[in-house]
Amino acid sequence: MMDERFLRGGFPFRVVRLQPWKVWALAAVGGALALAVMVAVAGLFLILVPVLLIGGLVAKLLLGTGGRQPPPRHAGGVEVIEGRYEVVDVGQRTHERR
């Protein structure tokens, strides 16, 4: 009779043979645990999502826009940016570097 311990990848392990009803029982317990975890997570989402949405809405109403208001528009609707502009010739710039 062969030894029930085998060497795979440098690690000894033991082969366990289960009866078919034990395999089905393990699969049923694993499925029940997975279903219980999914129900718990779904329940948590059903509680947390509305709480976070209501909290965000209350914070938005109480705190306002946070001081970010759009700049006032002029009556004409056209904004002019004033400043000094200087045109620089690219040819002159390359000669100055040398």
Residues 63-82 pLDDT 10s? 876 666 666 666 666 677 78
The answer to whether residues 44 and 53 touch, using CB atoms and an 8 Å cutoff, is no
Note the Cα 51 to chain centre separation in Å: 19
Q: Which helix (H) or strand (E) holds 77?
A: none
Between CA 14 and CA 12 the distance in angstroms is 7
Q: Compute how many other C-beta atoms are within 10 angstroms of the C-beta atom of residue 29.
A: 10
pTM over 0.85: no
| β-strand partners of 5 | 14
Between CA 36 and CA 82 the distance in angstroms is 67
Q: What pLDDT does 1 receive? A: 43
